[in-house]
Structure 1
C-alpha cells in the first residue's frame, strides 16, 4: 500500500529545490506516499468534467467534517462553525490580524517557520515561549506562560498541537489548564492542529475549541492535507464556535483571502468519509518508520531523537552544543529541514513520511557518513 512513488516531473518542491545538488530530500512536510485510492478516483472523475469553475462549500462537505470530529475526538460541532480556508498558514496569519490587535502574540519555540513569522508579518510583537525537555516530555514553563498571558497587551496565543517539529501532543490536562489561563486573561487561543490525525500511538488529542472554558474565545485549525497527502490543493478549515469572532474573521478575509480550491474540498470530503481503513494503515506504517529512524539515529554519536506521539517528522538533536547538525546531514547527501529556521540552529527536522526503501536509503547515507566522520 505504501510503496515507492516516483515524483519526477510533478514540480514537487521537495524534490525540485535541491536536485541539482544531488541531495536526497527529507525536508519539507509532505509525504512521498500516494494519496488514498478513493481520493484519486474522485479527483479523476471530477476532472473528467471539462468545466472547472467556482465552487462554494457544500452541505455534505461540512457534514463530513462534523462526522469526522465526532468519530475522532468525540466532539460535537455545528456546521455553521466551519469556515473553509485556502490553508492553515494564511489562517493563523489572519488570526494575528483579526485578534492580535497589533499587540503581543505568544508562540512556542522551536516551531515551524511560518508560525514563527506570522505575528511580525501582521504588525504584532512575537513573544517566544520556549519548549524544553523536562521530566521526560517536551513542555513549557507554566509560570512564564502565565506571566506572558497576563501582560495587558497580550491578546493571542498561537498554539501548534501536535507540535511541529517535536511531534509532541499536549495532554488533556495541559490543554484544559491552558484553556483556563487564556480564559482568565482574556487571550484568544488559536490552535494549529493540522497534524492531529497523525497520532501514532493512540494518545488522545483534544481540540482546543472542544473545551467549554475556551470555546468562545478560540479558533481550531484543521485540514485533510497532511494526513491524506493532499497539501497541494490548498484547502483547510477553521472551526470558530463564537459567532462574533466568526463574523470578524470572515469580514477581514472577505476580498483578500481566496476560497479553497474545489479539488481540495472534494479531496477533504472523500478523505473524511471513505478513507478510514487507509488512515489506520498509514498510522501503523509511520509508527514503524519512526522506529527505524530512532534505531539508526540513536546509535550515532552526537545525535539524539526522542520519538513522540504524532507526525511523520523527527526532531533530531545535537548532543554537542557546538556542532550544528545541518551541515553534516548535507555532507552526508541528505537534505533535512534546517533547525535555524525553527529557532534552534543546532538541530534538524527529518521527514520520515515515505516508503521503507527510501527511508532506509536516507538513513544509510546518514549512518555511513557519521561512522566515517567518527
Structure 2
C-alpha cells in the first residue's frame, strides 16, 4: 500500500506537545503549529503493523536488544551511508540527548571547555551547563544565505584547551549537510588538538537530492577512535515518542565508560515498542522513507520559492532535515516584535530563533514535515501578514 502523505491526521487532545501546548506557548488556540521537530504524518504501515502485532501479543516484559537487532542497525548504516560498523560498537539508549549527557559526564570534567557551533539545537547548551562545563562558541559564518564553518576561529578555540566538540550533522537549525571536505578539515583539527567529537547525526537519513551525508566517524580509524556518533530512527520515521536511539562508539574504553554510566543511573533497557519500531523501520521502512523524502523536497522548494521574491524574509535552502531556517532580519524588528508578528499577525507557531543562541536573533525555524497543503497554508499566512503590514 502506498503511503498517504496528504491526509492530515487529527493530533489535538492526544497529549501531543506540538498541538496541545499551542495556547500555552503561543497565547492562542488559533495559532497554526509548525514548530517542534516531529511530523504531522502517520508512520509507515509496515511499522504500524509490527506495533499492532506486538500489542496483540499482550505481554510487555523486559525486552532485549539482541544480535539480530544489532545486525539490522549495522545493515541500515551500511546501506544508507556506506559505513561498515562492528555490532559491538552499538550502545542503545532512550535518546540522543541522554547519550550526549553520558558522554559529557564520563569523557570530560567540571570546568572543561566544550565547543558548539551556533546557532544550534538548544539542548546542546543545557547538556554542557548542567554538568558544570564551559560553553565555547564557534559561530557559523552566514554569507549569501548559506552557513559555513569558521575553521580559523575553531582552531583558536582549540588552542584554549578545548576537550570536546558537539557536532550537529546535518545541522539543526540551519539545514547544512557538512561535506566530506568540511568534515576532514574539522577532524584534522580535532586530531591535532586531541578534541573528542560528539556527533549528533539524528537527521542523517533526511537528506535532499544533490547532497550526501558522511558519518564523521567513517573518515578514518583515528577519527573513529575519537568519536561518539548518535543516531536514531525516530526523526526519520516519526517515532520520537517511542524513545529509542543508539550510539556507535568504536573506542572500547569510551564505550564501556558510557555503558557503565547508563547502568549507574538505572538506564539499562529501551522500551519494548521502541525496539519493535526500530527493527520494523530498518527492515521494512525504506519505501516509506523514499516517499517522505519526495514530499519534503516538494515542501522545501515550496517554502524557498514562496519567499524568493520577498525582501522581508529569506528561506534558507536546507540540504537536510525537515526544518527550514527563516532569515527575517530584513523586517527590521526587535526579536520580541518578530515573535509577536508570527504569533499574532501571521498566526503561525514557529521555533524562536533566539532559543538556538544569540546568533539566532532575527530568525525563525519552520517545520515542513506535514502534508503540502498544510505547509502552504502556513506560508500563505506569513505572506498575507507581510502584505498587511506593508499596506498599513
Which TM-score bucket, shorter chain as reference? over 0.9
Q: Which residue of 1 aligns with 2:5?
A: 2
Alignment check: 8 A CA contact 1:317 1:346 kept: yes
When the two structures are superposed, what TM-score results if normalisation uses the length of structure 2?
Answer: 0.92
Q: Secondary structure in 2 aligned to 1:21?
A: coil
Q: Which residue of 1 aligns with 2:242?
A: 233
Q: Which runs of 5+ in 1 are unaligned?
A: none
Q: Does 1:191 align with 2:199?
A: yes
Q: Which runs of 5+ in 2 are unaligned?
A: none
CA distance in structure 1 between the aligned counterparts of 2:217 and 2:284, rounded to whole angstroms:
25
Per-residue displacement from partner, 1:42-88 (whole Å, max 9, x unpaired)?
Answer: 00000112221211212221111100111111111001000001001
Structure 1 residue 255: Cα displacement: 3.0
Alignment check: 8 A CA contact 1:183 1:214 kept: yes
Farther-moved stretch of structure 1 (248-257 vs 320-329): 320-329
The correspondence for 1:176, drawn from 179, 184, 187, is: 184
CA distance in structure 2 between the aligned counterparts of 1:76 and 1:231, rounded to whole angstroms:
26
Q: Which residue of 2 aligns with 1:48?
A: 56
Q: Secondary structure in 1 aligned to 2:101?
A: helix
Per-residue displacement from partner, 1:187-237 (whole Å, max 9, x unpaired)?
Answer: 110100000100012411111111213110110000000010000001110
Structure 1 residue 327: Cα displacement: 1.8
Number of equivalences? 373
Q: Which residue of 1 aligns with 2:299?
A: 289
Alignment check: 8 A CA contact 1:326 1:346 kept: no
Q: Which residue of 1 aligns with 2:15?
A: 11
CA distance in structure 2 between the aligned counterparts of 1:159 and 1:215, rounded to whole angstroms:
14
The correspondence for 1:149, drawn from 149, 155, 158, is: 158
CA distance in structure 2 between the aligned counterparts of 1:246 and 1:50, rounded to whole angstroms:
34
Matches for 1:153-168 after TM superposition, within 5 Å: 154-168=162-176
The correspondence for 2:321, drawn from 307, 311, 314, is: 311
Moved over 4 A (4+): none
Q: Secondary structure in 1 aligned to 2:18?
A: helix
Q: Which residue of 2 aligns with 1:351?
A: 367
The correspondence for 1:274, drawn from 264, 271, 284, is: 284
Structure 1 residue 136: Cα displacement: 6.1
When the two structures are superposed, what TM-score results if normalisation uses the length of structure 1?
Answer: 0.96
The correspondence for 2:339, drawn from 326, 334, 340, is: 326
Alignment check: 8 A CA contact 1:64 1:272 kept: yes
CA distance in structure 1 between the aligned counterparts of 2:21 and 2:310, rounded to whole angstroms:
28
Structure 1 residue 257: Cα displacement: 5.1
Structure 1 residue 242: Cα displacement: 0.6
Structure 1 residue 270: Cα displacement: 1.0
